[in-house]
């Protein structure tokens, strides 16, 4: 589902370059030349979480490798497959060859959350994502950080950015004031030294 969503959001040039999948953690390497922005990440999450809520039954079938190559089926053709291959289908949304294990329906995934998107080499990027309870814990942890930040700043979640900007502007103002006072102090010292010199 992640690869299908990435192709919808970023374009058909996206292809899988490697992956690690466990029950709750995903690392997915894919071809793309630019960092994903927050809007793109949110769009991918939105698409996948909608498919999770749809609780789609995942179908498994077997066919020949040549038949797969003749159809629009995603596969890592640099990998070695037997002539008879296993295809995983999620309705019309995603059809891919896979040797791994899968849940029986998308609803069992629970929740999908991207936690990082990084560059690993030229033209190759990596998404790390979590699912299920770990994804929920990730959201809760970020909420705790926001709660602590809002407490320290004595403001609300929704006003944190305004509060930070106010503090930054105040700090800039103090810095300018400090520089002015510093210059005035230097001028006073120079003036006093000049007076002493004339008196001598």
Number of H helices, E strands in the chain: 5, 7
Both tokens of 29, joined, read 């390497």
Name the 3-class secondary structure at 149: helix
Rounded Cα gap, residues 32 and 54, in angstroms = 28
148 — pLDDT class (breaks 50, 70, 90): very high
How does pLDDT run across 99-119, given as a tens digit for each residue? Answer: 666 788 899 999 999 999 999
Average pLDDT, the chain: 85
Q: Is 143 helix (H, G, I), strand (E, B) or coil?
A: helix
| Segment 24-80, tens digit of pLDDT | 899 999 999 999 999 999 999 999 999 999 998 888 777 776 666 655 565 554 455
């Amino acid at each position: 589902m992640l690869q299908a969503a990435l192709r919808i959001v970023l374009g058909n040039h996206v292809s899988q370059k490697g992956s690690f999948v466990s029950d709750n953690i995903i690392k997915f390497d894919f071809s793309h030349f630019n960092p994903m922005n927050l809007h793109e990440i949110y769009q991918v999450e939105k698409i996948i979480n909608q498919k999770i809520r749809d609780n789609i039954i995942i179908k498994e079938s077997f066919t020949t490798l040549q038949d797969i190559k003749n159809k629009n089926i995603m596969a890592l053709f640099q990998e070695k497959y037997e002539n008879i291959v296993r295809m995983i289908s999620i309705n019309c949304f995603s059809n891919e060859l896979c040797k791994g294990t899968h849940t029986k329906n998308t609803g069992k995934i629970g929740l999908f959350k991207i936690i990082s998107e990084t560059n690993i080499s030229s033209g190759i990027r990596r998404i790390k994502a979590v699912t299920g309870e770990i994804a929920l814990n990730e959201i809760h942890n970020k909420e705790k950080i926001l709660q602590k930040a809002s407490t320290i700043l004595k403001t609300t979640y929704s006003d944190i950015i305004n509060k930070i900007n106010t503090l930054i502007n105040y700090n800039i103002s103090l810095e300018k004031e400090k520089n002015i006072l510093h210059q005035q102090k230097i001028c006073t010292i120079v003036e006093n030294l000049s007076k002493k010199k004339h008196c001598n």
